[in-house]
Chains A and B, each alone.
Chain A
Amino acid sequence: MDGFIELCGIRKVFPGQSVPAVDHASLTLKKGEVFSLLGPSGCGKTTLLRILGGFEIPDEGRILIDGKDVTDLPPNQRSINTVFQNYALFPHLSLWDNVAFGLKMAKKPKKFIEDEVDRMLDMVDLLDQADKKPHQISGGQKQRVAIARALINKPQLLLLDEPLAALDLKLRQRMLLELDRIHDEVGITFLYVTHDQGEAMSLSDRIAVMNRGKIEQIGRPMEVYEAPSSSFVAAFIGDTNFFRAKVVSTVSEDYSMLAVDGLPEVLAYNDKKLQNGQQVYLSIRPEKFRISREAPADPTHINMMRGKILDIIYLGSNTKYRVQCDHHILMITQQHARFLLDMKPFTWDEEVWVSWNADDGYMLQRFEESDTNLLGIPPVEDTVP
């Protein structure tokens, strides 16, 4: 079923602020999917979540659940439950009573409440801790109680507001698997808000990337990563190298040559059919490059150039290089498929070949210079240090 939950043109301006927190955001969630709202802090994702939860009323726009308009309903009358960022467990109640809260409010029969609470606590593996108070358990356990408490009313939509932000890395990874398992078990639609692209990519069916109150792109994780619609998305999801370029000639129907200042002409896949003479931005992910001592044997569809290794950051499973090609400084990541100690690794100041497949450079039309500041990425035109 399509269009289970629909947000149409949501806009919200907080009093005393000129810039809207959420600006004409429209989304459609499918039943049972895990959908992530991804963006830097202050991008409006939490406001959008609070609007969905009923804690803020939008200035414009409608929210439909299963065709029913819920825009003006208070939180307690929506079939939406939330896992709050700081868990918001009731400190004066035991874990059992925390989980039972929703059913008690709904005035369900006592026997039913007892069975359901036990079942939910069992699902999150906390049945033996049921009598404890929230302050007696760990962060990961609190997280699981919060999830059980939010799911017990069988909402049509579960909102998760940066649920893993307060946990350490190892626990975060475990909880991510746990969340995935819980989602498979209950089949409820999840709306997951995060600033962590790794969480969003690994958990979601689809992602919406938000920036300054606007939704920049909606797509499957792979689409968003490989084919970002804007410089912001390209830079926010993963790392990338930007080049200011100009389309100079058409090679074939799908490929064009680009002129990049200081580099040999670059062959790039032109899926957007951009005309010659047009200014574009070329984005190449660090892992798409290949560094080699000899020039690639088969130069078909391959771009190559000389470069000098400036920095080497060895990370075990991969190594990050900073390579200077003319006045551009590139971030390049290389995986180690082979046993590294037997190979002759690259060293500092070594002259190497940098190459990449023509299909791996992605052309962007839209680029907002201010985004580079926002994301802390170096400006496009790097000068020689």
Chain B
Amino acid sequence: MTRRKWREWTLTLPSMGWLVFFFVLPTFLVALIAFKPRSLGGGIGEGWTMATWLDILQPSYPLVVWRTLWLSAATTALCLLLAIPVAYWLARLSQELRNWMLLLIILPFWTNFLIRIFAWWSLLHSEGCLKHTLVWLGLASPNTQLLYNEWAVLLVLVYTELPFAILPLFASAEKFDFGLLDAARDLGATRFQAFRKVFLPGVRQGMLTAFVVVFIPALGSYAVPEIVGGPTSEMVGNKIAQKVFVDRNLPHASALATLLALVVLLPVIYSIFMRRIKTTQRGGKRS
């Protein structure tokens, strides 16, 4: 090992150790448990088995997995769609106004997450004010159910995740050189074309970050579908909780959690792999 390599390693070792001990190791432990049988007392039994993985293929799961995926994807898409114009607008505000607006965006975090979801629950409730207003406006019939469906879950997920999309996008937009939009307009682009061809590529990094920080928590969401979704709108998170607390089947819950982690990890591993191939190709071309 060269001197430089050795220094690099010693410098990264503390953070590496932290990550391995508190993140990689627990994930592996969870994955391992999925290959253990359950004990009758609700714990983990002796020996190894594949039975849990075969259990997971039971017919009710694909629907839940599918619902989890599309709800997370839709949440991410809606959050990006809403956050991009907001980030653009924030970045063009004066420093003082911008600080106030950022404060407003962060303000909901001062209230507990569960309480905010309960607030939505009472708003959407069949005796809630939102329902009454819609009926009064003639936009809904008295027996419309706003609560306990996938749309309620989607709505509240977008509400909870939106600030996490706005903040990274704003960080990108703030660094964006708005003179480039003038340049695009100067070269014949309409306002929209300048936005699409120059602004969006300019905040690409922010979009990626927003995607990751919205999509991954949305995949694992549990409280939102639990409170406003009800039994017909369960997501994988609810299934995991049910397996742990109700069925006392830890291996089964572990298998589901591992499945979720793989859904997130596989695309990441794939993209890193692809990037590596790309760079080696480019390097080869230049030499």
Residues of A within 8 A of B (CB): 53-55, 74-76, 80-82, 84, 86, 88-92, 101-102, 105-106, 149-150, 153
Contacts and interface: CB of A to CB of B under 8 A. Distances in A.
A75 B180 contact: no
B179 A86 contact: yes
Given A76-B190, A106-B188, A84 B183 contact: yes
Given A53-B186, A82-B182, 10 more contacts: A82-B183, A84-B183, A86-B177, A90-B198, A90-B201, A92-B202, A105-B187, A106-B188, A153-B187, A153-B188
Contacts of A89: 183
Interface string B164-179: 0000000000000101
A81 B187 contact: yes
Interface size class of B (residues with CB under 8 A): 10 to 19
A55 B179 CA distance: 11
B192 to A, nearest CB: 11
B271 to A, nearest CB: 18
B49 interface: no
Contact of B184 (A74, A101, A153): A101
A151 to B, nearest CB: 11
A102 B187 contact: yes
B182 A88 contact: yes
A349 B192 CA distance: 70
Contacts of B204: 92
Which one of A53, A80, A84, A88 has the greatest number of beta carbons of chain B within 10 Å?
A: A88
B183 A76 contact: no
Nearest to B285: A131
A331 B201 CA distance: 55
A82 to B, nearest CB: 5
A92 B183 CA distance: 14
A80 B179 CA distance: 17
Contacts of A76: 185-190
Contact of B179 (A81, A84, A102): A84
B193 interface: yes
B182 A75 contact: yes
A101 B189 CA distance: 9
Contacts of A149: 187
A86 to B, nearest CB: 7
8 contacts: A53-B182, A75-B186, A76-B186, A81-B187, A84-B179, A90-B201, A150-B186, A153-B188
A35 to B, nearest CB: 19
B185 A74 contact: yes
B183 to A, nearest CB: 4
A80 B201 CA distance: 25
B273 to A, nearest CB: 23
Contacts of B184: 90, 101, 105
A106 B188 CA distance: 7
Contacts of B188: 76, 102, 105-106, 153
